[in-house]
Amino acid sequence: MDGTLVEPDWPPLRHSEVSELLRQFPALAGSVHIVSRSPRPFSAAAVVATRAGRIFIKRHHRNVRDREGLLEEHRFLTHLAGAGGQVPQIFAAASGQTVMELAEWTYEVHAIPPGIDLYEEAISWTPFRCAGHARAAGEMLARLHRAADGFAAPRRKPRPLVAGFSIFAEADPLAALDRYLAARPSIAHHGRVRQSALEALDLLAPFHRELAPLLPELKPLWTHNDLHCSNLFWSDDGKSAYGTAVIDFGLADRTNAVHDIAHAIERNIVEWLVLVRDPSHPEKVPIHFDHLQAMLAGYESIRPLSDDEAAALAPMAAVCHAEFALSEADYFLGVLHSEESARMAYDGWLVGHARWFRGVGTRLIDALRQWAGRRGARAPESGMR
């Protein structure tokens, strides 16, 4: 969370474990070789070479993703694939199931999508390599939203590590916060979490007031909620590379398109790690306005926003991080029992980012407001700085 390398939260996948799992997949069973292991901390994952080609295996602890939790994601992926979405194939076992359960673990097996994992080593809150990649990411997100249209599953059940939209989706965020906390025992009675959440609500209140009149115009939609450049596969490593697939739907939930675009802005456009390393100088946090302009232009070349959606993007960008910050705190306290890591989420991220948006971060919010105004006037989309 601060950009440094840390030990993964979970033990790495072992060769014997992979071999046992793949016995349930006759087309993939046999001689296997672990090509690489993911360094990301919230689950254990690996690229595995099989007789049928390379595949991707991901293992979760049941307290993070039980069978039903993974099936929520798989149903969405199945819908997207059927609607032409560029997403990885999910392999089904001989039993027909896509979620395997062994001991305290749940597993999923995916095909490796076409293209290259260009940003394999990149972490969240790091920028695109160039504006061309930002535009391509915007295009991919818009295509994903078009494919998601018509998927009518309800909002996900309360789970750790989900980027939902419920607190600021209500007229009374305080009442919504109380319901959110009550559904998650690990943070429901944690005094410092609640104190931080209340401080964040106060800091973000002006943005909620700006967003509230527009909420009825934001159509519910299942969304990715983590479209960082590292969650895309790419055609090549050139400046004109385009996206070939969207991966990692672990944070997906029923929110709306503007919420998803706001998360893409939050993940790629603002270098938050600079704030983590030097919180006393928030003005030094880089904002990549050229990438922002390119990403929005790419998105609207595929799926133009309504005037209300465009107007909602500025306040949504300020509030979208809040719910996932609390979800991370739930994970760190309820699953890992790590107060130190949880503090990074509920204080460093939830409150720290809210303070930034109320201070020097208004540069980003004002740029989005100006973009929406120019867009409504059909003027050129230039001048973000």
Q: Cα separation of 147 and 123, whole Å?
A: 26
| Average pLDDT value for residue range 4-26 | 88
Question: To which H or E segment does residue 196 belong?
Answer: helix 191-211
pLDDT in the model for residue 260: 98
Per-residue pLDDT at 1 exceeds 80: no
Per-residue pLDDT at 41 exceeds 90: no
CATH class of 15-111: alpha beta
Question: To which H or E segment does residue 143 belong?
Answer: helix 131-148
Give bridge partners of residue 245 from the DSSP assignment: 233
Q: Cα separation of 135 and 128, whole Å?
A: 10
* Contact assessment for residue 332 and residue 338, using Cβ atoms and an 8 Å cutoff: yes
| Average pLDDT value for residue range 330-351 | 97
Q: Cα separation of 345 and 331, whole Å?
A: 10
Per-residue pLDDT at 164 exceeds 70: yes
| Average pLDDT value for residue range 133-145 | 98
Per-residue pLDDT at 377 exceeds 90: no
Q: Per the structure block, which two tokens stand in for 209?
A: 């007031």
Query: Under 8 Å CB-to-CB from 298, ≥6 apart: which residues?
Result: 134, 135, 136, 137, 138, 139, 142
CA distances from 87 to 61, 110, 261 (A): 24, 10, 18
Mean pLDDT, the chain, whole residue set: 95
Residue 148 main-chain phi, psi, to 5 deg:
-75, -20
pLDDT in the model for residue 380: 42
* pLDDT grade for 124, boundaries at 50, 70 and 90: confident
pLDDT in the model for residue 375: 84
DSSP-H helix ranges across 228-351: 257-268, 272-277, 289-302, 307-319, 321-334, 339-343
Give bridge partners of residue 253 from the DSSP assignment: 223
* Contact assessment for residue 272 and residue 140, using Cβ atoms and an 8 Å cutoff: no
* pLDDT grade for 381, boundaries at 50, 70 and 90: very low
Percent of the chain exceeding pLDDT 70 equals 96
* pLDDT grade for 2, boundaries at 50, 70 and 90: low
Percent of the chain exceeding pLDDT 90 equals 91
pLDDT in the model for residue 203: 98
Residue tagged 């609207």 (tokens): 300
pLDDT in the model for residue 39: 81
* pLDDT grade for 382, boundaries at 50, 70 and 90: very low
| Average pLDDT value for residue range 282-296 | 97
Q: Per the structure block, which two tokens stand in for 381?
A: 């989309």
Per-residue pLDDT at 383 exceeds 80: no
Q: Where in the chain are the domains? A: 15-111, 131-376
On whether the 131-376 domain is CATH 3.40.50.300, my answer is: no
311: helix, strand or coil: helix
Q: Which residues of 360-379 are buried (b: 16+ CB within 10 A; e: fewer)?
A: bbeebbebbbebbebbeeee
* Sign of CA pseudo-dihedral 289, 295, 300, 303: negative
pLDDT in the model for residue 385: 47
* pLDDT grade for 362, boundaries at 50, 70 and 90: very high
Q: Per the structure block, which two tokens stand in for 296?
A: 């929005």
pLDDT in the model for residue 3: 53
| Average pLDDT value for residue range 248-257 | 98
Q: Cα separation of 280 and 355, whole Å?
A: 12
* Sign of CA pseudo-dihedral 151, 156, 162, 166: positive
Residue type at 238? G
